[in-house]
Amino acid sequence: MAACGSSSNSASTSASAASSKSESAASEAAESASSAASSSAAASSSASSATSESVTAASTTASSAEGTANIDGVQADDAFYEKADLTSLKGKKIGITIQSLQNAYWAGVMSALEDILKENGAEYNIVACDDNSTKQISQIENFISAGDDLIMVHPSDADAVEDACKEAQDAGIKVMCWDDPMENTDADWILNNTSLGVAIGEMAGNFINEHYDENNKAQVALIDYPSTKVLLERGNGIKEGLENVAAGKYEIVAEQPGIEANKAQTAMETILQQYPDCKVVVGVGAGAMIGANEALTTATNGKIPEDMGIFTTDVTKQQLEEIQDPNQAARAIIGFEGSDEDTAKACASMYALILSGQLENKYVYRQVGEINADNIDEIMKGMKG
């Protein structure tokens, strides 16, 4: 990962600066990706009317150890976040530690979040742990020493930071986790990653149904990252979704890890050497789309056929631009709340709800929905960079 970055309204390094330094596209746990990538976000409150039919509901019941698909939580929507009073954040001290600011998604959202926190008078410190749990534990301990009111952690390894989060709670600090269900937190802002994967797979499966059949099966490449638990769940969900809607019309010819765009591109280039007729790509994040799109563009000399398509999640500005371009293989994504600004506002609303004691359920499932040519223009308006 890149060197640890930080952003504070009392420090010289800002999340906005990190954003401009971080024009690499990746997914949640990424290192720096290809220099072509731009800042990002996720699917839209602004476009919630366009995506409401695509919202994936949370599954229910079971312990957090069994994964995000089996947790009894509340499904967030616009009305859920509207209960928050962002002005209540004035004077609150908020520490934020994430995996990387060299990730286009995080750089974009953190830049937008910084704007919201500054506008509402909060004191904040945004740092990146470079996907290093030891560093992240130290950052949490620093937030405790600073007497923060709330700490948000996007963990490199959720199990590794449990004790540090417990220490924060014992000190009277509220703790929120972004992405993982954890024990020693007051709120977990999570995705049903299996359902998210199913939505990606079904989206790709519908495309396969349009262009392929049992006598002309699509060759599919899955670019995943199974070493990360939530992304393993997502990858398995993709397989389930494909089978749900396109059984018998495709074959997964290759599975390769590729969380960053440059590594996904290399993976796809390797796949194409063995399977030159592979035209459908599914992936667990932005890096898979951006990297695979570059590889397919090169392989086809820029002449992308109609039966070639890439389907993933995360929302970076580069992904959106590629989906808008009919000469690219990027077709659609399953995203989250909306633009960078929409996701940042939802996150800040979580802070306000936690600090005011308004959360009735610890586990809050984020909104997800399909982003395609029909609703992409509205989402682009709220992207940073």
55, pLDDT greater than 60: no
Residues 208 and 168 in one domain: no
222, pLDDT greater than 70: yes
Residues 64 and 107 in one domain: yes
Predicted pLDDT at 69: 60
Predicted pLDDT at 385: 62
15, pLDDT greater than 90: no
127, pLDDT greater than 50: yes
Residues 61 and 143 in one domain: yes
Predicted pLDDT at 259: 87
CA–CA dist 365, 355 (Å, integer): 18
CA–CA dist 111, 2 (Å, integer): 18
pLDDT band, very low/low/confident/very high, at 121 (cuts 50, 70, 90) = very high
Residues 11 and 81 in one domain: yes
Q: Which residue has the higher pLDDT, 169 or 102?
A: 169
Predicted pLDDT at 372: 87
Residue 228 lies in a domain: yes
Q: What is the pLDDT of residues 260-298, one digit of tens each?
A: 899 999 999 999 999 999 999 999 999 999 999 999 999
For position 224, which CATH number holds?
A: 3.40.50.2300
Mean pLDDT over residues 33-48, rounded? 34
Using CA atoms, how far residue 300 sits from 115, 118, 263, 264, 305, in Å, is: 42, 47, 19, 17, 8
Residue 157 lies in a domain: yes
107, pLDDT greater than 80: yes
* Structural domain for 242, as ranges: 193-335
pLDDT band, very low/low/confident/very high, at 333 (cuts 50, 70, 90) = very high
Q: Which residue has the higher pLDDT, 44 or 184?
A: 184
Residues 72 and 147 in one domain: yes
Residue 381 lies in a domain: no
pLDDT band, very low/low/confident/very high, at 229 (cuts 50, 70, 90) = confident
Specify the number of domains making up the chain.
2
Predicted pLDDT at 67: 60
Residue with tokens 């398509």: 309
Residues 172 and 198 in one domain: no
Residue 376: CB atoms within 10 A of its CB come to 21
Mean pLDDT over residues 197-212, rounded? 98
Residues 306 and 325 in one domain: yes
pLDDT band, very low/low/confident/very high, at 66 (cuts 50, 70, 90) = very low
268-288: string of b/e by CB count within 10 Å (b at 16+)? bbebbeeeeebbbbbbbbbbb
- CA-based nearest residue to 283, from 249, 325, 319, 248: 319
pLDDT band, very low/low/confident/very high, at 153 (cuts 50, 70, 90) = very high
Mean pLDDT over all residues of the chain? 85
- In this structure, what token pair is assigned to residue 82? 């509207």
